Structure 1
Amino acid sequence: MNDDPPEVIPIDVDESLSTHKHNPHRVPRLIALFVSILVALASGTLYFYGAYSPQLVKRVGLTTSDSATIALCMTLGSGIGGFPAGLIIDKYGPQVSICMGSLFIFVSYFSIYNIYLNRYHSLLLICLCMGLAGFGSITCYFATLKASQANFPKNRGTAGAIPVSAYGFAATVFSVISVKFYNGNTGGLIEFLAFFCGVVTFVGSFFIHVYHDEEDEEEEEAVASNGYIPVDGELTLLTDQSIEPPPMARTNSLAGSFSFWGIGERTPKDSEASSFAESSRSNSIYEQQQQQQQQAMLPNSIQSSSRKPSQANLRPSTKKKSSGQWEAIKQRIVDKEFLTLYFIAAITSGIGQMYIYSVGFIVTAQYYYNRHEDKRGGDYAPIHPDAAKLQAIQVSIISIASFSGRLVAGFLSDFIHKHKFQRLWIVFVTIIFQCLGQLILVLNVSSHVWITISSGVMGSCYGLIFGTYPAIVADSFGTKTFSTNWGLICTGSVVTLFILNKYFGWIYDGNSDPNTGHCYKGNGCYQGSFELGMVLSGIALIVTSVLMWKHRHKV
C-alpha cells in the first residue's frame, strides 16, 4: 500500500508543472488569436475594390484603363510589398508591424475619400494611395498569421486558418455593409473603410504578441524536420540537422511564419528567453551547426543554439540570415522547376485577379446592356444604385468562393498526396474550370444568373490555386526557404495582371459611350480580354501537364 503513492505523485507533479508552464500564456494567446480575426478582417479590403472602382474612376474623370492601373498598384503594394513586409514583421514583431500598417491603411483610404469628395483628377496620387493601402493591409495580415501560428505551434494549421478565413471573408462582410448602409453613397463607404479599418487594426496591435514557451521549440524542430519531403542535398542536410535537436536550441527563425503555413522568422524579442540549464553543451552544438551552415549556405537556417541571452550574439545571425535570403533568391531565379511553377502561378493568379478587380465593370456593362435611356449630355452619369448592389453581390460571391476554395484545397491536397497523387492534379483541374469560367464570360451577354455562376467558378479557382500552391512550393524546395520562395511566387501575377487589366480597360473604353461613360454592349465590352485569358490558361495547362509528367515517379 505504501508503494502506490510514489508512483502517483511524480505523475501529479509533472502534470502540475505542465499546467504551470502553459497556463501563464494561455489566456493572452487566445486574446491575441481573437483580435487577429478582427485585424485580418479589417485588412481584407483589397478584393473589395471591385465593388466601388467604377464609381471612383467615373467620379474623378478617369477611364476603365486607369482603373486597371490602380488595381496593378494595389497588387504591387500587397504582392511585391509582401516580401519587405515579412522582413519588417520578423525584425520588429507583430505589434509594431500592425501599428505601422494601420497608419498606412487609414492615411491611404482617407486620402482616397478626399480625392473622391473633391473630384481630384490625379491618377498618380490615387495609385500611390492604393499601393500604400495594399502594403499596409498585407503587413497587418501577415503579422496576424505570424502571431497566430507562433502562439499555437501544436495547432498551427487551425490557428493559421482562422485569420486566413477572416481575411478571405472580409470582402463579403464589407459587401453586406455596403448594400445595407451605403447603397448609392460611395464616398461614405470609402470614409467608413478609412476609419473602421484604421482604428480596428491600430487598437488590435496592442493585443497581438508572440508568447513563446520552451516546449514549443521542440515542436518547431519536429515540424522543421518532418514538414516536407527532402528533394535535394540542401534539404537532406536540413533533415540531418534536425534529427537530434539540441536541448538548448532557440531559433530566431520560424521559416515562413508570415505565410499561410506559419513557418517563418521570429522576432528576437519574442524568443529572447533561453534556458541556462544545459549551457555547457551549447558550444559544441554551435560549432557543429556552423560547419553545416558553411557547407550549405542555406537561408533561414541560422541557428542560435548556443546563444546566451545577450543582444550581441544576435547581430551575426542577422547578417547571415540576410545573406542567406539573397542566396536563396539567386538559386531560385535560375532553377527551371521554380520558374515553371512561377509561370503557372503567374497566369492562373493573374487571371483570377483581373476578374476580381474588374467584376464591377462587368456587372455595370451587363446592367446597362441595351439601356440607352440614360444617355444625356455631360461628363458624369452616376451608376444606378441597382447596379451598385449587383457589384457588391458579385464581390461577395467571389469572396465566399475564394474562401471555400482555400479551405478545401488544404485538406484535398493533403488527401491526394497521402494517396500517392501529385498535388499538381488540383492545379490541373483548377485551370480547366478557370477556362470554363472564362468561357461563360465570353458567351454570356447579359444574364445575371450566369455572371453569378462565373463569379463562383472564378473565385473558387483563385482560392484553390492559393490554397494548394504553398504545399507544392514547400514539397519542392523545403520549408527553410519557404518565406523567400513564396514571396517570389506571389510577385508573378503582377505582369499578367497588368497585361490583362490594361487590355480589359482598352476594350471597355473603346466600347463605352463618350458622354455617359457607360458601355451598353454587354459582354462585347470586355469579351476579348477573357478570350486572351483562355489562351493563357491553355498554355498554363500544357506546362502543368509537362511538369506532372516529369514528376510522375517522384510521389
Structure 2
Amino acid sequence: ATASQPEWTWRRVALLFLGTWLAICGGTLYAFPSFEVELMKLCQLSARKLDAVYAAGQLGAGVGIIPGAIYDHRGPVATSLYGLVLTVLGNLGLAWALREESCGGVYILAFSYWMLQNGSVALYQVGLFSNMRAASATSQGMVTGIVCSGFGLSAAFWTLLYADVFGENLDRYFKGTAIVFGATAAFAAVALPRLLTREPGVKPYGRLDEDGSESPAASSPDTVTYGRQVASSSQSKAPCCDQLSDQPASSPSLRQILCNLDLWLFLAVFCLLQGVGSGLFIANLSLIATSLEIPASSRLRYVRLVSYCNFGGRLVTGFLMDFWEPRGVQRSDHLLWTSSGLILISGGLFLAPEAALPHVLLPALLVIAFCYGSNWAIMPSFLESRFHGAHVGVTFNLNTGGLGLAVLGVSYVVGSLHDAAATLQSPAAGSPSLPDESGFCLGASCWRNAFQLGGLAAILGLAGALALSCSESSRQRRSSLKAGSSY
C-alpha cells in the first residue's frame, strides 16, 4: 500500500471477518464424524456405504469448479445465491431422508450430501477468493491462512452446536443449518459488492523478495471484476507452456497454466496427501475409535480436537509461508514436512501394538489434522503466487476436484477393507474380538491394511513434493539470473 493509503481499512477487515465466517459455514464436511455412527445405525448402512455418503460430500466439495466458474464469470453475488439454493436443498433433503425407511437408500443420502457440500464449498470459495483478490503481496499467506483456518475450525463449531444446541438430533441439526447457511449466503450476496471496492495503491499477487518488497510478479494482473479475468491483447497472444515462468510480470493465459508441469505435479501431491487425511482418517474417525473400543462419549471430543488442529495447521502455515519465503523457502516446500508427518503417523499406527493404539490414536489424529489443514493453506497460496492470481477459480477447483475423486477411491477401498475384516471376525476363525450387532469391526486388525495404504500414498506424495521443490528452486534461479542480466 502507499504511504497515504493504509493497507488495512474497515472494508478489508470486514471482508476478512465475513470470509472467515463463510469458510466456517463451508467446512461442515469435517463434522461428518460427529454423527456418522448415529447415521450408520439409523439408516442401517455398512461401513462401505457410509464412506460412500462421505465421499459423495467430498466429491461435492471437489466439483467446486462449478461455483468457481460462476465466481470467475458472474462474481460473488451469483455464487452466493448458488450456495444458498444448494445448501438449503441438501439439508432439507437429508432431513426428509431420515423419515424414510432405511433413509431412502444410500443414493438419496449421497445425492443430498453432495448438494449440501457443493453449496457449502460455494460459500467457502466466495469468502476465500474475495479475500485473495483484495490481499496485497505482503499479506497473501496470512489472509489465506486466516480464511482457510475458518474452514478447518468448522467441524469443532458445528459439532458443538450438534451436541449442545441440537441435542444430537440429526433432523433438527439439518433443518437448523439450512436456516443458518441460507441466511449467511443471502447476507454475503448483499454485502460483498460493497466490500470488494479496491482501495488505490494496494497491489495484489506475487511473491516477496528477501527484503520484504514485492517482486515484479506482484504487479496486478489484467483487469479483475469480482474474480473474472479479462484477457488482454498480450495474454491472447501468449504462447503455451514454456514461456510462463519467463514472463513474471504478465498474467498467464489459461492455456499456459494448464500446460505447466508444476500445476499437475502439485495436483498429484495434493490429492495423494489429502486423500489419506480425508478419505482414511477424517472420514473414519469415529469408526476407528469404535473399533478400538474408545468410549462413545469421547468421539465428539475427538472431532472437536481434530478440528482445532485442522484450524491451527491452516493458520500457522499461512504465517510460516509469508515468513520463510523471503528467506528462500518456497510456498510449495512446506509440502515436504506435511508429507513426512503423514508417513510417520501412518507407519507408526501400522506398527504400533494393539494395546497401545487406543492411547496413541488421539495424538496421531491431531498431527494428521495439522498436516491436512496446512496443505489446504499451501494450495491456494501456491497457486496464487505461482500463476500471479490468474484463473484462480479454475486452478483451485482442479485441485479440489481431483481430491474429490481421490477421496472417493480411498473411501471405497478403506470401507471395503473394514467390512471384509468384520466378515472375517467369527468364532470359526478364532478371532479374539467379534463384530458387534451393528456390524462394526472390533480390534486393531480392522485398520492395519488401511494404515499401510495411507503410508504408501504419503511416500508417493513426498517423492512428488521433492520433485516440485527442485522444479521451483530451478525456476527461481533462472528468474534471478535473468533479472541480473537485465541490468
Q: Normalization by structure 1: what TM-score?
A: 0.70
1:373 paired residue number? none
2:223 paired residue number? 251
2:284 paired residue number? 358
1:396 paired residue number? 304
1:98 paired residue number? 80
Identify which range, 144-153 or 339-348, moves more after superposition.
Answer: 144-153
What secondary structure sits across from 1:491 in the alignment?
A: helix
Matches within 5 A, 1:281-430: 290=233, 292-296=234-238, 325=254, 327-328=255-256, 331-332=258-259, 335-354=260-279, 355-367=281-293, 387=296, 389-430=297-338
For 2:354, which of 438, 445, 457 is the aligned residue? 445
What secondary structure sits across from 1:219 in the alignment?
A: coil
Instruction: For 1:75, give the aligned amino acid.
Output: Q
The reply on whether 1:128 has 2:111 as its aligned counterpart is yes
1:466 paired residue number? 376
Instruction: For 1:92, give the aligned amino acid.
Output: R
When residues 116 and 439 of structure 1 are mapped into structure 2, their CA distance, relative to the original with a 3 A threshold, is farther
The 8 Å contact of residues 441 and 523 in structure 1, kept in 2 or not, is answered as no
Instruction: For 2:305, give the aligned amino acid.
Output: I
Instruction: For 1:190, give the aligned amino acid.
Output: F
Q: 1:429: how far off?
A: 1.9
What secondary structure sits across from 1:503 in the alignment?
A: helix
When residues 471 and 139 of structure 1 are mapped into structure 2, their CA distance, relative to the original with a 3 A threshold, is closer
1:84 paired residue number? 66
Matches within 5 A, 1:224-235: 224=205, 226-227=206-207
1:436 paired residue number? 344
- Mapped to 1, the partners of 2:386 and 2:198 lie a distance apart of 30
Sequence identity, in percent?
18
1:265 paired residue number? 228
Q: Normalization by structure 2: what TM-score?
A: 0.79
1:167 paired residue number? 151
Structure of larger gyration radius: 1
What secondary structure sits across from 1:117 in the alignment?
A: coil
Where do 5+ consecutive residues of structure 2 fail to align? 210-214, 242-250, 423-433, 477-487
Q: 1:474: how far off?
A: 4.3
When residues 545 and 366 of structure 1 are mapped into structure 2, their CA distance, relative to the original with a 3 A threshold, is same
Q: 1:136: how far off?
A: 0.4
The 8 Å contact of residues 178 and 392 in structure 1, kept in 2 or not, is answered as no
Instruction: For 1:295, give the aligned amino acid.
Output: K
* Matched residue count: 444
- Mapped to 2, the partners of 1:152 and 1:416 lie a distance apart of 18
- Mapped to 2, the partners of 1:440 and 1:408 lie a distance apart of 25
When residues 164 and 532 of structure 1 are mapped into structure 2, their CA distance, relative to the original with a 3 A threshold, is closer
- Mapped to 2, the partners of 1:431 and 1:30 lie a distance apart of 33
Residue by residue over 1:160-186, the C-alpha shift from the partner in whole angstroms, topping out at 9 and shown as x without a partner, is: 544333222111112222333445534
1:199 paired residue number? 183
Residue by residue over 1:319-342, the C-alpha shift from the partner in whole angstroms, topping out at 9 and shown as x without a partner, is: xx9x954x356x33xx44333222
The 8 Å contact of residues 473 and 482 in structure 1, kept in 2 or not, is answered as yes
Instruction: For 1:540, give the aligned amino acid.
Output: G
RMSD of equivalent CA atoms: 3.6
Q: 1:493: how far off?
A: 2.0
Instruction: For 1:488, give the aligned amino acid.
Output: L
When residues 195 and 213 of structure 1 are mapped into structure 2, their CA distance, relative to the original with a 3 A threshold, is closer
Q: 1:359: how far off?
A: 0.8
2:42 paired residue number? 59
The 8 Å contact of residues 149 and 313 in structure 2, kept in 1 or not, is answered as no
Instruction: For 1:390, give the aligned amino acid.
Output: S
Q: 1:41: how far off?
A: 2.2
Q: 1:520: how far off?
A: 4.8
Instruction: For 1:43, give the aligned amino acid.
Output: G
**Structure of higher RCO (CA pairs closer than 8 Å, 6+ residues apart):** 2
Residue by residue over 1:361-400, the C-alpha shift from the partner in whole angstroms, topping out at 9 and shown as x without a partner, is: 11121227xxxxxxxxxxxxxxxxx51x422222212211
What secondary structure sits across from 2:292 in the alignment?
A: helix
Q: 1:482: how far off?
A: 4.0
What secondary structure sits across from 2:190 in the alignment?
A: coil
Q: 1:89: how far off?
A: 2.1
When residues 239 and 298 of structure 1 are mapped into structure 2, their CA distance, relative to the original with a 3 A threshold, is farther
Residue by residue over 1:102-125, the C-alpha shift from the partner in whole angstroms, topping out at 9 and shown as x without a partner, is: 221122112112212334241111
When residues 155 and 468 of structure 1 are mapped into structure 2, their CA distance, relative to the original with a 3 A threshold, is closer
1:516 paired residue number? 437
Instruction: For 2:223, give the aligned amino acid.
Output: T
The 8 Å contact of residues 48 and 419 in structure 2, kept in 1 or not, is answered as yes
Q: 1:140: how far off?
A: 1.0
When residues 89 and 422 of structure 1 are mapped into structure 2, their CA distance, relative to the original with a 3 A threshold, is closer
- Mapped to 2, the partners of 1:403 and 1:410 lie a distance apart of 11
- Mapped to 2, the partners of 1:109 and 1:479 lie a distance apart of 34
- Mapped to 2, the partners of 1:437 and 1:203 lie a distance apart of 42
When residues 149 and 474 of structure 1 are mapped into structure 2, their CA distance, relative to the original with a 3 A threshold, is closer
Q: 1:542: how far off?
A: 2.7
- Mapped to 1, the partners of 2:239 and 2:31 lie a distance apart of 42
Instruction: For 1:508, give the aligned amino acid.
Output: H
The 8 Å contact of residues 424 and 472 in structure 1, kept in 2 or not, is answered as yes
- Mapped to 1, the partners of 2:405 and 2:105 lie a distance apart of 23
When residues 181 and 445 of structure 1 are mapped into structure 2, their CA distance, relative to the original with a 3 A threshold, is farther
